[in-house]
Structures are given as C-alpha cells and as structure tokens.
C-alpha cells in the first residue's frame, strides 16, 4: 500500500516535470517576442531621433533664410523711405523756389515805381498849404506801397559804409575817399532789396578807391606836367 502511494507520488512528479518541459518552448517564444519588440522600439526611437534632428536642421536653415529675406526687405524699405523723404523735401523746396520766382518777378516790376516815389520825395519841396496837402497824400500812398512790400517779405538793403560785396552790390562808380578805405561803399545810387533773405535786386553803388589814391593820382599828373615842361624846355634849347 505504501509502495503504491510512493509510486503515485513519483509518477506525479514526473508528470509535473514533463509538463514543465512541455511549456518551456512557449516561454522561449515569448522571450523572443519581447526581445524583438524591444529591438523594434529601439530602432523606432533611433528613427524618431534622426527625424527630429533633420526637422530641427531644416527649421534652422529655413529660419536663417527668413532672416536674410527680412534683412533684405528691411533694407529696401529703408531705401524707399529715404528716397520718398528726399523726394518730398525736393518737391517742397521746388514749390518754394517757384513761389519766390513768381513773387520776385511781380515785385521787381513794382520796384521802379518805388524808386520814382523816393526821387519825387527828395525833389519836391512843398511851400503852399495846397502843395503840402498834396505832398501828405503822396506820402500816404508811398507808405502803403512800402507796407505792402514789407508784408511780402521785401526788405531794403543798407549799404552806405559797408564793404563792397559783388553778391549784393553792383559797382557803378569808383572814386577816392578820405573817410573810407578801399572797397567800401560811399554812396547808394539805386537801392537794393532782399526777398526772404535772397537778393531781389542788387544795389547800385559808388565805391571808395581809398584815401591815398587821390594824392597818388595828383602826384602822377604833376610828374607828367613836369616832364612835359622839361621836354618843351629841351626842345627850345635845341632850336
């Protein structure tokens, strides 16, 4: 009886051992599958890392290209903006110059009338009451004309005693002067005018030749006279 039980236990152990041996290939297949799956995951991870690296590299290249395009467009904008600003300033300057030219042409035609008013004021010497009344009316018209010119930006030049400047003055006469040095203005023959800081009409002036020029000229003439006298004396002696 005991022996039979022992045999049964041994048989059961053998059966368990056989079952263990029978299941071991399946365990091996599962282990192979797990290993294959791990390898696949590693490969996928490497591929994903490579794709990410390529993507980052492409994005960097694209960013660099966009930055270059942005810099180019920025430079173009700056140039266009500067060109437009210069064009606007040039247009404004041309309009101002054109306006000044038109006004200058009109005012230049009026200046001779102002000259005639000033000559008449210097020459007329009213004595009777009627003449004085007429003179006052004339002076009122003259003042109105001068005021209109002033409102248009016209200003007279002050030249007497100033140094001659060809950009402002036109020398008509030159004569010696004991009071002023050479190239200083002695007399104003026709008044000059400015318009907005520019010359509307040059002043006609008489310019000094300096204080010593007159004496030098007299000495030259005296020497010439003396030479003529000596020449006549020599001629008479020869005869």
- Residue 223's CATH number: 2.30.22.10
On whether residue 51 sits in a domain, the answer given is no
| Counted domains in the chain | 2
Closest CA to 183 of 203, 204, 158, 163: 163
What is the predicted pLDDT for the residue at 36? 59
Q: In this structure, are 170 and 186 located in the same domain?
A: yes
On whether residue 125 sits in a domain, the answer given is yes
Structural domain span for residue 204: 154-239
On whether residue 3 sits in a domain, the answer given is no
pLDDT digits (tens, 9 = 90+) for 196-237: 888 999 999 999 998 864 444 555 455 554 555 455 444 444
Collapsing DSSP to helix, strand or coil, 193 comes out as strand
pLDDT digits (tens, 9 = 90+) for 51-69: 777 787 888 888 888 888 8
- Residues 51 and 7: their CA atoms lie apart, in Å, by 66
């Amino acid at each position: 009886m005991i022996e039979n039980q022992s045999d049964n236990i041994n048989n059961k152990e053998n059966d368990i051992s056989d079952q263990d041996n029978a299941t071991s290939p399946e365990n091996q297949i599962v282990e192979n599958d797990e290993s294959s799956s791990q390898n696949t995951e590693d490969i996928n991870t490497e591929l994903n890392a490579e794709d990410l690296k390529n993507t980052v590299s492409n994005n960097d290249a694209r960013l660099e290209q966009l930055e270059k395009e942005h810099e180019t467009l920025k430079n173009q904008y700056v140039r266009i903006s500067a060109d437009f600003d210069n064009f606007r300033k040039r247009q404004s300057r041309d309009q101002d110059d054109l306006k000044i030219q038109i006004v200058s042409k009109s005012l230049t035609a009026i200046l001779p009338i102002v000259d005639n008013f000033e000559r008449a004021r210097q020459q007329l010497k009213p004595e009777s009451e009627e003449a004085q009344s007429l003179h006052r009316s004339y002076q009122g018209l003259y003042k109105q004309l001068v005021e209109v010119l002033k409102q248009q930006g016209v200003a007279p030049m002050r030249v007497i005693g100033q140094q001659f400047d060809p950009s402002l003055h036109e020398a008509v006469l030159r004569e010696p002067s004991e009071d002023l040095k050479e190239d200083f203005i002695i007399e104003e023959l026709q008044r000059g005018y400015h318009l907005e800081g520019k010359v509307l009409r040059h002043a006609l002036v008489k310019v000094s030749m300096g204080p010593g020029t007159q004496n030098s000229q007299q000495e030259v003439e005296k020497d010439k006279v003396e030479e003529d006298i000596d020449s006549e004396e020599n001629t008479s002696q020869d005869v």
